[in-house]
Amino acid sequence: MCGILASIYLVWRIGTVGGWTLECWVLLLICLVGVRKDQVDVEWMKFLAVGVPLLGVFYYFYGTGNGIWWSIAYRMFQNNLHIWNWDSMMNSIPFNDAAWARTISHPRLDKTMVWIYNYGFVLSLWICIVRSYWTRSVKKMLSYALSGHLLQFPLILPFYHLILLREVWWVKGQPDLLGRQFATENDLLTNVMNCFPSMHTSISFAMLLLALRERDRIFKYVMVTYCSAIIFSTMYLQIHWVLDVIAGMLFAYGVVKLADTVIYWGCKLLPARFNKLYAAAEGRAG
C-alpha cells in the first residue's frame, strides 16, 4: 500500500511540476485504460522495490533537467561555438519552411496546436513512463526514459553546438505563433537558435516507435495520433523546418536502437537477483 501511495504521489508531483492542465490528465487516463493488456507477470511487492526508486530518479532528473538545459543553452549562445549558420540555406529550399502546413488555419486550431507543442516535449514521454510503471515493467520504464531525454539530451548537444539554425518564424520575419515573451534580445536569440534536429520531433517520434511495441490498441492509437500531432505542430506553428523534422525522426530511430542495445547489455551485467525481475518483464513485454 505504501508503494502504491508513493507512486500516486510521484505521478501527482510530476504533473504539478509540469503545470499539467485537465486535458493532460485526461490524456494520461485514456492511455491507462488498457494497461492490463501489457502488464507483466511480476509481483507488485518485488516490482515496487525497484519501480518506486526508479520513478523517483526520473522525477529528480525532470525537476533539475530544465535548469541544466537552459544553462547550457546560454553558455552556447555566449561562447558562439557554431561552425555553420544554416538560416539562409534552409530558407532557400522550396517547401522547407512548411508553409503548406498552414494551408488550413483557424484561431481555435492555433490554440490547440500551441497546447500540443507546449506540453508535447515532456508529456509524451511522461505518459509512456507512467504507463510502463503500471505495467510493472522495469524494461519498459528504462526503454522509454533512455530513448527520451536521458540519451537524447547529451547526444543532440553536438548538433546544437556546431549548427546555428533559428526557428522559421524568426528567419522569415513573421510573428511568433507561440506568443512567447522575452525579457531581452539575448533571451529571444537563445530560445530560437537550436533547431537541427527538432527535439520535439525526436522525443515524440521515439515514444511513437516504442508505443507500437505495446499490445493495447487504445494506447497505440492514442500515442500515434498525439505524437504525430506534436510533430505536425512544429511545422504548423512555423517553428521547425521540414528537414529539422526529418532529421529528428532519424535521430529518434537511432536513439531507440541505442537504448535497446544499452538495456540488452546492461541486463547482462546486473546481479542475478535483479536480473530475475527484469527477465520476467522482458518475457511478457516482448
The predicted structure's pLDDT at residue 227: 98
Supply φ then ψ for residue 129, to 5 degrees: -65, -45
The predicted structure's pLDDT at residue 251: 98
The predicted structure's pLDDT at residue 203: 97
Across 73-77, 189-193, 252-256, 262-266, the highest mean pLDDT is recorded for: 252-256
The predicted structure's pLDDT at residue 284: 43
CB burial of 244-269 (b: ≥16 within 10 Å; e: otherwise) equals bbebbbebbeebbeebeebbeeebee
125, pLDDT greater than 60: yes
Q: What is the tens place of the pLDDT at every residue in 133-162?
A: 999 998 899 999 999 999 999 899 889 888
The predicted structure's pLDDT at residue 274: 60
Averaged pLDDT for residues 117-145: 94
The candidate with the shortest Cα–Cα distance to 233, out of 171, 167, 157, is: 167
Q: How many CB atoms lie within 10 A of CB 45?
A: 8
79, pLDDT greater than 80: no
Q: How far apart are CA 101 and CA 81, in angstroms?
A: 32
Averaged pLDDT for residues 251-269: 91
The predicted structure's pLDDT at residue 273: 58
Averaged pLDDT for residues 36-42: 90
Q: What is the mean pLDDT of the chain?
A: 88
Q: Where are the domains of the chain?
A: 2-14+25-32+41-285
Q: How many CB atoms lie within 10 A of CB 155?
A: 14
CA dihedral sign of residues 120, 124, 129, 130: positive
**Under 8 Å between Cβ of 195 and 166:** yes
The candidate with the shortest Cα–Cα distance to 229, out of 58, 62, 91, 27, is: 27
The predicted structure's pLDDT at residue 63: 73
- The residue written with cell numbers 548538433 in the block is 159
Instruction: Please state which of the ranges 4-13, 178-187, 251-260 shows the lowest mean pLDDT.
Output: 178-187
Averaged pLDDT for residues 110-116: 97
pLDDT level of residue 7 (50, 70, 90 thresholds): confident
The predicted structure's pLDDT at residue 281: 45
The predicted structure's pLDDT at residue 47: 87
